[in-house]
Structure 1
Amino acid sequence: MKFIIVDEMHPSIVSMLEGIGIVPDYRPSVTRMDLLKIVMNYEGLIVRSKVKIDKELLDLATNLKIIARAGAGLDQIDIEEVNRRNIKVVNAPEGNRDAVGEHAVGMLLSLMNKMQTGDKEVRNRIWKREKNRGYEVGGLTIGIIGYGNMGKAFAKRIKGFGCRVIAYDKYISGYSDEFAQEVSIEDIFNNADVLSLHIPLTEVSRRMVNRKFIANFKKNFWLINTARGEVVQQEDLIEALDSGKIRGAALDVLENEKFETLTSVQKLNLENLVERENILFTPHVAGWTYESLVKINEVLVEKLRESIGRI
């Protein structure tokens, strides 16, 4: 089978694919317009998030049998259309779950201990100990929404701080383990001091964290989002930060991560957040470690090996 790889990946992907009998065409600089002209020549497509897999592309991909997503999220793929055409889809959340779990812990510790502001001030020869007094994670109740690969990886790590960890997942049950207790969404609302999001972007989850959702929390809480920026309604996040309902937020993702395409409203919202000391940003790198690039390849190739045998 001939596969085209349209995003930057760890170079090990080529030899790994050749090892299972796939002919790889590594073309990370290809544009969508270029891909539309040549996609019919391939039986497999390996993507990250650069190219949207929609009806226009699929209509031209007449020989496509399998799509491999190098990562977890499938929101850039029209799953309904893909299923209608009997095209197999595989992804690799196992490859970067450890990276996401570690990053989420790091963001929470940095946010609660004001490390980002302390560092900035010391670099400017400002020494304010009391202003930068932090909070301890131990003893808090950590609420997780989404207990798949990422949520469980975060729970495994944060549990070691002496927290109570509770988790809600709309789509699975019976997942209580040594790291987290399965609870209802009402239990999350009633008990969480920290909320960490580990859910895919769907029509159900889009702007799920809005004014109504936030108002359900009994306590003022810290928010961590390493999932997708569109899960959080930015205007309502700002309102909750103003009121103190959200004590601070660690954001690895934004509603629109292409700054050159921000709308006027998105620009205003980002400017508002940037000015706050209780906001910590990272540029969508929670699952983007040196190690995860290789692990994603390993997971993806193993899943392709299994899938090709069934096509």
Structure 2
Amino acid sequence: MKCLIVDYMYDNIEELLLAAGLEPDYQPTIARDGIMNIIHNYEGLIIRSKTRVDEALVTQAKQLKFVGRAGAGIDNLDEEALNRRNIKILNAPEGNRNALGEHCMGLLLGLLNNIVKSDREVRSGVWDREGNRGYELSGKTIALVGYGYMGTAFAEKLRGFGCEVLVFDKYKTDCTDDFVRQTSMGEIYERADIFSLHIPLTKETRGLVDFNYINKFRKKIFLINTARGEIVSLAGLCQAIESGKVIGAGLDVLENEKISNLTSSEQKMFEYLVNSNKTILTPHVAGWSYESYEKINNVLIDKIKREINGIQ
């Protein structure tokens, strides 16, 4: 079984595929046109985020048995087109969940304690203790929307901080344990101090968190987004920061992450976030640690091996 890899992967990808009984073809620099021209030769395809696996590509993939997504999100895959052809979708959220959970903690503690803001000020010769007075995490209510691999990873990191964790996940009914309590969005709007997103990008969630959504929270909140940028309307977020409803926002993802190619309105919002002392921005690296880079390979190839050997 031949497997085409079209993105850069950790160095052991070919070794792992060979050990699993596959013939790897590692072409991390290949462009979409090149993939379209040769995909008919392969039973397997491994991607990260640069390649859109859509109807046009799948139509050319006459022998394709599986698509492996080296990471968690599968919003760049046309699930309907793949399912219609019985092409298995495999991803590896187990590989980067720990990295994402730790990154969420970094964003949250950075916001609560003005770490980035005060660092910039001290480097500029400003010693402002009162202006950088922080908030303690202990005693706060943290609301997680989405409680899959990423939401649970963040919850695990919050243990020991003396906070309350509420969860809303419309597709699960068994999230409550000795630390986390599943609840309604109504209670989250009423009680949350901190709001963190851990849901996939879908037609339903695109643009979900706009100003009207944020304004439903009774309290002023801190907002964390390490999921997908398109879930949060930056126009709405900027408005919420300006109004004081959002005290601070930690964003690992943006609505448009091609920041060298923003529209004029996107550029205006981006500049607002960049110049605000209430934001921490990171370049979609929450799950992108040195360790996760390798772990994703191991998880994904193990799933591929089980799939081709018919192991549940």
After TM superposition, the score normalised by the length of structure 1 is 0.98
Aligned to 1:297: 297
Which amino acid is 1:137 matched to? L
- Give the conservation status (yes or no) of the 8 Å contact 1:251–1:281: yes
Task: Show the counterpart of 2:16.
Answer: 16
Deviation, structure 1 residue 250? 0.2
Are the aligned partners of 1:104 and 1:154 in contact in 2 as well (CA < 8 Å)? yes
What is the aligned partner in structure 2 of residue 133 from structure 1? 133
SS at match of 1:131: helix
* Aligned match of 2:122: 122
Show the 5 A alignment for 1:188-227: 188-227=188-227
Aligned-partner residue type, residue 188 of structure 1: I
For 1:6 and 1:178, how far apart are their aligned partners in 2?
43
Tell me the residue number matched to 2:39.
39
- Cross-structure match for 2:248: 248
SS in 2 for 1:222: strand
Amino acid at match of 1:181: R
Q: Contact (CA 8 Å) 1:159, 1:165: kept in 2 or not?
A: no
* Matches of 2:27 and 2:158, distance apart in 1: 39
Look up the SS of the partner of 1:161 in the other structure.
Answer: coil
Q: CA deviation at 1:234?
A: 0.9
- Displacement, 1:179? 3.3
- Answer whether contact 1:192 1:221 (CA < 8 A) is retained: yes
Gaps of 5+ in 1: none
Q: Which ranges of 4 or more aligned residues in structure 1 deviate by more than 2 Å?
A: none
1: distance between equivalents of 2:248 and 2:209?
Answer: 14
| SS of equivalent residue, structure 1 residue 261 | coil
Aligned to 2:30, what secondary structure does the other structure show?
Answer: coil
How does 1:101-112 map onto structure 2 within 5 Å?
Answer: 101-112=101-112
CA drift at 1:155:
0.6
Residues in 2 aligned to 1:255 and 1:9: alpha-carbon distance in whole angstroms: 25
Q: Match for residue 158 of structure 2?
A: 158
Q: Are 1:138 and 1:163, in contact at CA under 8 Å, matched by a contact in 2?
A: yes
Which residue identity is paired with 2:144? I
Give the CA deviation at 1:54.
0.6
In the alignment, the residues of structure 2 paired with residue 68 and residue 192 of structure 1 have an alpha-carbon distance, to the nearest angstrom, of 37
- Unmatched 5+ stretches in structure 2: none
Query: Counterparts of 1:37 and 1:263 in 2: how far apart (Å)?
Result: 33
1:172 Cα offset (Å): 1.0
TM superposition shift of 1:135:
0.8
What are the Cα deviations for residues 178-209 of structure 1, in whole angstroms up to 9, with x where unaligned?
Answer: 33111111111111000000010001111110
Residue aligning to 1:85: 85
Match of 1:170 in 2: 170
Tell me which moved more, 120-129 or 96-105. 120-129
Q: Tell me the residue number matched to 2:28.
A: 28
Q: Partner letter of residue 58 of structure 1? A: V
RMSD: 1.0
1:141/1:165 contact within 8 Å kept: yes
Letter in 1 for 2:125: R
Aligned equivalents of 1:157 and 1:170: distance in 2? 23
Question: Does residue 1:285 correspond to 2:285, yes or no?
Answer: yes
Q: Does the 8 Å CA contact 1:152/1:179 hold for their aligned counterparts? A: no
SS at match of 1:4: strand
Q: Which deviates the most, 259-268 or 66-75? A: 259-268
Q: Equivalent residues in 2 for 1:54-93 (5 A)?
A: 54-93=54-93
The count of corresponding residues between Structure 1 and Structure 2 is 311
2: CA distance between counterparts of 1:41 and 1:260?
Answer: 36
CA positional deviation for 1:9: 0.9
- What are the Cα deviations for residues 64-92 of structure 1, in whole angstroms up to 9, with x where unaligned? 11000000001000001110111001100
Deviation at 1:127, TM superposition (A): 1.3
Letter in 2 for 1:141: T
**Higher mean C-alpha displacement, 258-267 vs 274-283:** 258-267
Matched with 2:182 is 182
User: Could you report, residue by residue, the CA deviation over 1:50-70 in whole angstroms, capped at 9, with x for unpaired residues?
Assistant: 100011111111111100000
Separation (CA, whole Å) in 2 of partners of 1:192 and 1:241? 16
- Matched to 2:239, the amino acid is E
